[in-house]
Amino acid sequence: MKERIVLGMDIGGTKTHAVLANTNGELLGQGFCTAANINFVTLKQAEDALAEAIGQAQKQGGVEDLETEIAIVGIEPDPTPLHSILNKVAKPKKIMHRKEGECSLVGGLIQRTGIALIAGTGSVGWGRNKEGKTHVTSCWGTIGDEGSAYDLARRGVNAAFWATDGRGADTKLCRALCEHFAVEKVIDFVSPIYQNPDVRKNFAALSRVIFRVALEDKDPVAIEVVKEGARQLGLIIATCAEVLNMHTEPYKVAATGGLVSGGGWYFDLIQKDLKNRKHDATMVQPKFKPGIGAAMIGLEEIGVEWNESVVKNMEATMKKIQRN
C-alpha cells in the first residue's frame, strides 16, 4: 500500500519552507527556497520557488512519484493562483489555505489555542481562543509590520537620515551604514537603497546593522530603535489576546520568525514588555517551525491526531532531516 503523505508549506515574505510527512508523523524531507508570497513576487517567481522547495523535500525523502493526500498552504494572501503548480508537482487530493499565524501556533505550541508571534521580515500576531474565534494584529506589510526586521531597518536608517540633516541625535549608525554600503556619506547610500531590485528583502537585512551597532557599539539611538521595536511587538501580542478575551487568564505565545525563534536579546526585550502588560503571559521558543505546523494541520485534516507517538516521531525525524 502506498504511503500516505501530507505537504505543509510556510510561505513568507522572503522564504518558502516545504515539509513532507507521513501518517506516523515522520518527517520525510524538507526544502527551502526564496519567497513565493504573491503579494511580493510575480506568479512565475512564486511557482519556481514552490517547485524548488517541494522538489528538495521530495528528493530528501526519497519519494519517486510524489502524490499527497492534502497540501496545507500557510500564506497570508489567497493562494488560488498557486494551485496549478501545486497540482503539478505535489498532486494533492485537496488543497487548503491556512494563515501563517495558525501554522506558527500549531507548530510552536502543538495546540490549537494561544497566540503566535511572527517576527521576521514582517510582523504578525495571530491568536485563537477556546471558542474558536481568531484575530490578527499587524500583518499590514511594509507600511506597518512594527517591530519586524523591515521596521527596525526603516527606523535605523531614518535615525541616520535625521542625524545627518540635523533633526536627530548623532549616532554611530551613520558610519556603520556607510561602511555597509561602502560609501563615504549618508547621502551616497540613498540611491542604492531605492534602486535595489529586491528592496523589501535586502532593506530588511539592514536590521543586522542596527542590532550590531546597538549591541557592540552601545549606541543610544540604535538601542532605542531596538527597544521601540520590542515594545511594538509586545503591543501586538497583548492586543491580540485582549481582542480574543484571553487576557483574563495566563496564556503562552509561540515566538516564531528569524528575529525571535532562537531567543536572544530581542526575545528578552519583548518578553519583558509583555510581562509588564500581562504578568502571567509567557513567550516561548517554538517546538517546530511553521512549515511543520502546516504539515500537522494536514495530518489532522486526514484524521491523524497529534498524539505522543506522532509528536515523538516528528522530533526524531526533524533532527534527521536537519542533518541531511
pLDDT tens digits, residue range 237-248? 999 999 999 999
Are residue 52 and residue 136 in the same domain, yes or no?
A: no
Comparing C-alpha atoms, which of 285, 306, 284 is closest to residue 295? 306
Cell of 48: 519556481
Are residue 10 and residue 142 in the same domain, yes or no?
A: no
Print burial letters for 186-196: b (CB count within 10 Å at least 16), e (below 16): beebeeeeeee
Angle in degrees, 0-180, between the axes of helices 207-215 and 173-181, rounded to the nearest 10: 140
H or E element, residue 252? strand 251-256
The radius of gyration of the chain's CA atoms, rounded to the nearest angstrom, is 21
Place of cell 536579546: 265
Comparing C-alpha atoms, which of 8, 1, 22, 50 is closest to residue 291? 8
Are residue 98 and residue 193 in the same domain, yes or no?
A: no
Are residue 275 and residue 260 in the same domain, yes or no?
A: yes
Are residue 163 and residue 280 in the same domain, yes or no?
A: yes
pTM of the predicted model as reported, rounded to 2 decimal places: 0.91
> What's the CATH code of the domain at 29?
3.30.420.40
Are 57 and 19 in contact, with CB atoms under 8 Å apart?
yes
The tally of domains found in the chain comes to 2
Give the pLDDT score at 324: 63
Are residue 213 and residue 66 in the same domain, yes or no?
A: no
Give the pLDDT score at 223: 98
Are 180 and 196 in contact, with CB atoms under 8 Å apart?
no
Give the pLDDT score at 159: 98
Are residue 93 and residue 145 in the same domain, yes or no?
A: no
Give the pLDDT score at 1: 62
Question: What is the domain range of residue 231?
Answer: 111-286
Given a cut of 50, the residues of the chain with pLDDT beneath it are: none
Are 145 and 136 in contact, with CB atoms under 8 Å apart?
no
Are residue 119 and residue 252 in the same domain, yes or no?
A: yes
Q: Write the burial class of residue 29 (CB in 10 Å: 0-12 exposed, 13-18 middle, 19+ buried).
A: buried
Are residue 42 and residue 123 in the same domain, yes or no?
A: no
Give the pLDDT score at 252: 96
CA distances from 60 to 206, 293, 320 (A): 33, 19, 11
Are residue 149 and residue 51 in the same domain, yes or no?
A: no
Are residue 249 and residue 117 in the same domain, yes or no?
A: yes
* Contact residues for 190 (Cβ-Cβ < 8 A; gap 6+): none
Give the pLDDT score at 92: 97
Comparing C-alpha atoms, which of 97, 95, 96, 155 is closest to residue 123? 155
Give the pLDDT score at 40: 85
Are residue 171 and residue 318 in the same domain, yes or no?
A: no
